[in-house]
């Protein structure tokens, strides 16, 4: 795996290094030793799969608060998505900054999202599947979120929002959290 630092402190883009032969390819998507060498030590306890029927589907912006903050390792298994993270750690030098990364089944990129970051994504193709490993169990009473179109962040989503849950559409603005 190749680890690339992003503009947000502690967030990483991870590219696979596939071994290719006549059968296809093989690549590691996680290795505790390689992650530890980059200062990352998640203890993943859950793996989720999100299927999105239609391009333009948006999920987010979500965060799980202390004491059950989550770090995530996100990968596109089919199709393509635009993944956005926002650093909400008040003591971070990149506090309130966001980053958008295109993850596709073809580019095989992954995004490591540290604890204290909000997360959301938009499907760029029909039938997009997103897999993510999480280092905390989902605890609904600690889930928070804010609107994907919050002017505090002015995220430039690549497509018009075609599908969004009622819950995600109804999150408050960030300043009211």
Task: Flag whether the pTM goes above 0.85.
Answer: yes
Residue 21 neighbours by CB under 8 Å, 6+ apart = none
**What percent of the chain is predicted at pLDDT more than 70?**
99
The pLDDT confidence band at residue 175, using thresholds 50, 70 and 90, is confident
Residue 156 neighbours by CB under 8 Å, 6+ apart = 100
**What percent of the chain is predicted at pLDDT more than 90?**
97
Tell me the domains of the chain and their CATH numbers. 43-176 (2.60.120.10)
167 CB neighbour count, 10 Å cutoff? 11
As beta bridge partners, residue 121 has 59, 83
Catalytic residue among 62, 98, 119, 148: 62
**82 catalytic, yes or no?**
no
Q: What is the mean pLDDT of residues 88-93?
A: 96
Q: What is the mean pLDDT of residues 32-41?
A: 95
Q: Which residue shows structure tokens 């490993």?
A: 133
Contact 45, 139 (CB under 8 A): no
Residue 35 neighbours by CB under 8 Å, 6+ apart = 41, 42, 112
**138 catalytic, yes or no?**
no
Residue 76 neighbours by CB under 8 Å, 6+ apart = 103, 104, 105, 109, 128, 129, 130, 131
Q: Which residue shows structure tokens 């008040």?
A: 90
Per-residue model confidence (pLDDT) at position 42: 87
Between CA 122 and CA 127 the distance in angstroms is 12
Catalytic residue among 82, 112, 132, 148: 132
Q: Would the pLDDT of 177 be above 60?
A: no
Q: Which two tokens stand for residue 46?
A: 């859950």
């Amino acid at each position: 795996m190749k680890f690339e630092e992003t503009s947000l402190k502690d967030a990483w883009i991870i590219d696979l290094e596939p071994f290719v032969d006549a059968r296809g390819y093989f690549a590691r998507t996680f290795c505790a030793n390689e992650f530890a060498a980059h200062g990352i030590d998640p203890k993943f306890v859950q793996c989720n799969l999100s299927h999105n029927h239609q391009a333009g589907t948006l999920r987010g912006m979500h965060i799980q608060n202390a004491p059950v903050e989550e770090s995530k390792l996100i990968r596109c298994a089919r199709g393509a998505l635009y993944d956005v993270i926002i650093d909400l750690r008040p003591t971070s030098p990149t506090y309130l900054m966001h980053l958008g990364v295109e993850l596709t089944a073809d580019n095989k990129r992954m995004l490591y999202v540290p604890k204290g970051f909000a997360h959301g994504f938009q499907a760029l193709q029909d039938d997009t599947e997103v897999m993510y490993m999480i280092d905390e169990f989902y605890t609904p009473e600690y889930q928070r979120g804010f609107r994907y179109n919050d002017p505090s962040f002015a995220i430039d989503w690549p497509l018009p929002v075609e599908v969004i849950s009622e819950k995600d559409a109804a999150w408050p603005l960030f300043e009211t959290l």
